[in-house]
Amino acid sequence: MKPKRVLLIGGTGVFGQLLARHIGVRADIELIVTSRSKTRAETLARDLNARLKTVGKTMDAPSVAGISLERRDADLAFFAALAPWLVIDASGPFQQWDHSLAEAALTAGAHVIDLADARTYLLSHQEALDPLARSKGVVALAGASTTPALSEAVVTELAAGFRRVDTIDMAIAPAGTSEVGPAVLNAILGMAGQPVPIRDEGRLSSGIGWSDRQTIAVPTLGRRSVARVETVDAERSGMTGRSALRVAFFAGLESPVERFGLYVLAALRRRGWLRNPSFLVPWLTIIRRALRVTASDRGGMVVRVTGVGRDGARAEVEWSLIAEHNDGLSVPILAAAAALEALLADRIEPGARLGPDVLSLADIEAEASPYAIKTRIRRRTLEGSVFLAALGEDVEAALPTALRRFHAADGAPVWQGRADIDAGTGWLSRLVAAVFGLPVSGRDVPVTVSVDRRFGPDAGTKIDPVPPSFHTEIWSRRFGNRRFSSTLQSNRPGFVTESAGPFAFDLGVQCDPDGLSLPVVGWRLFGVRMPLGLAPVSVSRERVDDQDRFCFDIRVSLPTGGLLIAYRGWLMPLADPE
C-alpha cells in the first residue's frame, strides 16, 4: 500500500521535532516537515532519514522531506498542490491563530490534527470547522496535546468508578532542564495575571493565572510548587458535568527563581502595571538556560479525582505520570501520535472534534512506550469524616437528618441558602474582619458553603482506607461577594480543631437531640497554646428547622466583649450535576 503523505507544520520547533522523530519511523506514511528556515527543515529531514536506515525501514526513496513554509502561506493553493492526506499543525502558539489554516487544509481534502491547548481556539473549533469537515468527509481534531486530550482522557478513566465526582485537580510539574521554546514562553507569559476559568462551588468561575500557589505531592518526585494556569478543561461540559465542586488546573516550574519571577509578573499585570510581558521572552530564554545547571531532568503530572464511589464510600483516585531523562518533553506529542494511529486505522468519524472526544487514555499511554515514562493509578477510600471521628458512630446516628447529611463523609460538597449577618462596629472588630475577609452586615444575604473533603495532611500517604484522623475538611463560606475559609480536623474523640491562618481553635463537639454545639475549649497562635481567657468567645449552634434544612447560628465576640461577627441562616445541598 502506498504510504500516506503527512505534512507536519512547525516541524523544527521543540514539539514538532519530537513528533517528527516519533512518527517518522512509520512505514505507512511519507512525512514532510516544514520550517520557516529551509535549511533547518532539510537538515532535520536528513537526520530523520539517516535514523530510519538504522532502524531498518525499507525506503524506495527518502521517506522524510523538508520544505520551507511561512504559516501565512499555507493556503488552499498550497495544500491543493502538495495534496497531503493529513496535516499536523505543531506551529503554535495557538493563542495567536484563527482556524484559516485548518479550513484551507480541510477544503483541499486533508485531515487535520493540531496540538492546540489555547482555550479560545479550542472552544470555537467545532463550530468553525465541523460543517466543512463533514462535507469533505475528513477529520479536524484539535487539542491533541497534554490538555485537553490527555488530561480529560485521564479524568474520563478515573471518573468511571464514581457515583458522584466532587473535585478534579490536575497539575503539571515539568523537569527544569527541559527545553522550552518561544511559543511556550509566550503562552506562559500570556496568562500571567489574567483571568483563567475554573469550576468552583459548582459553577464556572475564574482565578488569576500564575497565582493561588499550592504545594502538591508528586509520587517519587516529592513536593512541587504549582499555580493556576489557563486551560479549557473547566469549561468542557464533559468534565464540568461530572464535578459538583471544583475543576482546576495547575502548573509549576522547578526553579524557584523562575517561579518567583512569574508570580511577580502576574502581580504586576493584575494591577495594570505591566500590559504585555511578551517582550521578555528572549531574556527568559537566556535565564532558563542558565538555570538548567541547578535543575533536574525529572518531571511529572498528577490528576486527582475525589467523590463518592459506586460502593457509596468516599474515594480518591490519583493518576500520576513520572518522566525521566527529560522525556517529559514528549508528553505533549503523545496524543497527536495516538490520533495519527486512530486515523490510519479509520477509527475516527468525519467532523471537527477535540482530542478527548475520540482518544482514550489507553490510546495515549500506548504511545509512551519508547520513553522513560511511567504511569500508575492509585485508589484510596475514606473511613468516616471529621465529625464522625469526634462524635463516634452511635452519637452521629442520633443527629437530625439534615446535620448527618452535612457532616457525613459522602455529604454534598456544596450547600446554598440565606443568612442574616451582624458585623462588629468597633475599630478592632473591623480590623480583624478585614484581615480574615469576614462579611459585612446584611439581611437575607445569599450564602454558599463548600466542604472540600481531603485525604489527610499529605496526599502522598499510602494508607488505605484512610482513618478519620488523617481526614481534613476545608470549609469555604461565601456571603454575597465576601469569602473566608477555615480547615477542620479531628484527632481525638469529642473535639474538632478549626484553623485559619496562624490561629487554631479546639472546639468541643456537644450533641443533644436538637443538634450540635461547638464551644471553644482551647486555642493556639502560631502553634503556641494560649490562655483560654484571651480567646475569642464563640457560641456556635447547628440545628434543623421545620423544613428539614441545615441551620446555623454563629456568634463570635472579641476577648474584650465586643462583637466580631454573628451570622445565622439555613442551607440546602446544591443539586448534584447531571
User: Which domain CATH number covers 315?
Assistant: 3.30.360.10
Span 397-423, mean pLDDT? 89
Task: Give residue 482's Cα distance to chain centre.
Answer: 24
User: Do 367 and 264 belong to one domain?
Assistant: no
State phi, psi for 120 to the nearest 5 degrees. Answer: -65, -40
Helix runs in 292-385, H state only: 331-344, 361-366
User: Do 100 and 247 belong to one domain?
Assistant: no
User: Do 58 and 185 belong to one domain?
Assistant: no
Residue 537 lies in a domain: yes
Q: Are strands 64-68 and 29-35 parallel, antiparallel or unpaired?
A: parallel
User: Do 190 and 311 belong to one domain?
Assistant: yes
The pLDDT score that the predictor gives to residue 131 is: 97
User: How far is the C-alpha of 529 from the C-alpha of 537, rounded, in Å?
Assistant: 16
User: Do 276 and 340 belong to one domain?
Assistant: no
Q: Which of 371, 395, 428 is the last residue of a domain?
A: 371
User: How far is the C-alpha of 132 from the C-alpha of 351, rounded, in Å?
Assistant: 8
User: How far is the C-alpha of 452 from the C-alpha of 173, rounded, in Å?
Assistant: 23
How confident is residue 56, by pLDDT bands cut at 50, 70 and 90?
low
pLDDT tens across 94-124, in order?
Answer: 777 889 999 999 999 999 999 998 889 999 9
pTM summary value: 0.89
Q: Which of 315, 346, 380 is the last residue of a domain?
A: 380
pLDDT tens across 7-38, in order?
Answer: 999 999 889 999 999 998 888 899 999 999 99
Task: Give residue 311's Cα distance to chain centre.
Answer: 26
The pLDDT score that the predictor gives to residue 453 is: 87
User: How far is the C-alpha of 341 from the C-alpha of 256, rounded, in Å?
Assistant: 39
Q: What is the DSSP letter of 382?
A: B
Answer left, alpha or beta for residue 452, where phi above 0 means left and psi between -120 and 50 means alpha.
Answer: beta
User: Do 127 and 151 belong to one domain?
Assistant: no
User: What sign results for the dihedral spanned by CA atoms 304, 305, 306, 312?
Assistant: negative
Span 43-66, mean pLDDT? 74
Residue found by looking up cell 509512551 in the block: 368
Residue 497 lies in a domain: yes
User: Do 106 and 32 belong to one domain?
Assistant: yes
Helix axes 281-291, 256-270, angle to 10 degrees: 160
pLDDT over threshold 80, residue 513: no
pLDDT over threshold 90, residue 153: yes
pLDDT over threshold 90, residue 50: no
Residue 63 lies in a domain: yes
Tell me, letter by letter, the H, E, C secondary structure of 152-186: HHHHHHHHCCEEEEEEEEEEEECCCCCCCCHHHHH
User: Do 485 and 342 belong to one domain?
Assistant: no
Q: What mean pLDDT value characterizes the chain?
A: 88
Residue 200 lies in a domain: yes
User: Do 175 and 311 belong to one domain?
Assistant: yes
The pLDDT score that the predictor gives to residue 188 is: 82
User: How far is the C-alpha of 1 from the C-alpha of 8, rounded, in Å?
Assistant: 21
Q: What is the largest CA-CA distance in the chain?
A: 91
Contacts with 219 (C-beta within 8 Å, 6 or more apart), sequence order:
300, 302, 320, 322, 376, 460
Span 219-241, mean pLDDT? 83
User: Do 220 and 98 belong to one domain?
Assistant: no
User: How far is the C-alpha of 236 from the C-alpha of 205, rounded, in Å?
Assistant: 13
Residue 201 lies in a domain: yes
Partner residues linked to 215 by β-bridges? 225
Residue 48 belongs to what domain range?
Answer: 4-145+328-371
| CATH code of the domain containing 83 | 3.40.50.720
> Cell numbers at residue 306, please?
475525589
Q: Which of 380, 398, 415 is the last residue of a domain?
A: 380
pLDDT tens across 184-212, in order?
Answer: 777 788 888 888 888 888 888 888 988 88
Helix runs in 319-392, H state only: 331-344, 361-366, 386-391
Least confident of 54-63, 117-126, 369-378, 467-476: 54-63
Number of domains in the chain: 3
- With CA atoms as reference, report the closest residue to 335 among 367, 357, 374: 367
User: How far is the C-alpha of 292 from the C-alpha of 51, rounded, in Å?
Assistant: 28
The pLDDT score that the predictor gives to residue 150 is: 97
> Cell numbers at residue 513, please?
437531640
pLDDT over threshold 60, residue 268: yes
User: Do 63 and 154 belong to one domain?
Assistant: no
Which class for 440: exposed (0-12), middle (13-18), buried (19 or more C-beta within 10 A)?
Answer: middle
* DSSP letters for 391-426: H-HHHHHTS-HHHHHHHSTT--SEEEEEEEEEE--S
Residue 578 lies in a domain: no
| CATH code of the domain containing 463 | 2.40.128
Residue 176 lies in a domain: yes
User: Do 432 and 400 belong to one domain?
Assistant: yes
CA dihedral 99, 101, 106, 107 (to 10 degrees): 110
Share of the chain above pLDDT 70, in %: 93
